[in-house]
Structure 1
Amino acid sequence: MPINPLISANINLTPEQRHVLELAFNRTLRKLNLVDRNDPICEIVARKVIEIEATGVTNAVAISEIAFRQLYPS
């Protein structure tokens, strides 16, 4: 599941914010070794990335790191 359907629903996002979310989402999927976009976990990752961005984090790498730590705590 790509992140686009979820971010398209939010019309308040700028093109730059959408790009950051896409980068963070893809980076997080790579860190989690998720390659099948039809895996339901991808939607959980997408929602987590959007949730973190909504808190004010604007850097794709930072969003991805936070999402990874929250989804895969060590």
Structure 2
Amino acid sequence: MPIYRLLQNLPMGPEEVDRMAAAFENALRTVGIQDRNDPMAEMIAKKIIEIGQIGVRDPAEISARAIQELGM
């Protein structure tokens, strides 16, 4: 799964990782991506991390913002 690979080198605690993973799963489900190796899945993961790092804490909000910012 792209999000865990991308998060492994960032200074985040378990709660933050869980929050990002939940947002990632929600976003993939919302846009209908099932293949975690799909290039769009990695784009979503990067956007979720970007949004999560600016202080948004709610996984649903992170997911919604990522989808909106990516124009999906």
Same fold by TM-score greater than 0.5: yes
Shift of 1:23: 0.1
CA-to-aligned-CA distance 1:6-27 (integer Å, 9 cap, x gap): 00111x1010000000000000
Aligned residues: CA RMSD = 1.1
Question: Percent of aligned pairs with the same residue?
Answer: 38
Structure 1: runs of 5 or more not aligned: none
> Which residue in 2 is equivalent to 1:37?
36
Distance 2:35 2:29 in 1: 11
Q: Secondary structure at the match of 2:50?
A: helix
Per the normalisation by structure 2, the TM-score is 0.93
Aligned length: 72
> Which residue in 1 is equivalent to 2:23?
24
Shift of 1:71: 1.6
Residues 39-54 of structure 1: matches in 2 within 5 Å? Answer: 39-54=38-53
Structure 2: runs of 5 or more not aligned: none
Q: Could you tell me which amino acid in structure 2 is paired with residue 21 of structure 1?
A: M
Q: Secondary structure at the match of 1:3?
A: helix
Structure 1 runs (4+) greater than 6 angstroms displaced: none
Distance 1:20 1:72 in 2: 22
Per the normalisation by structure 1, the TM-score is 0.90
Distance 1:21 1:3 in 2: 8
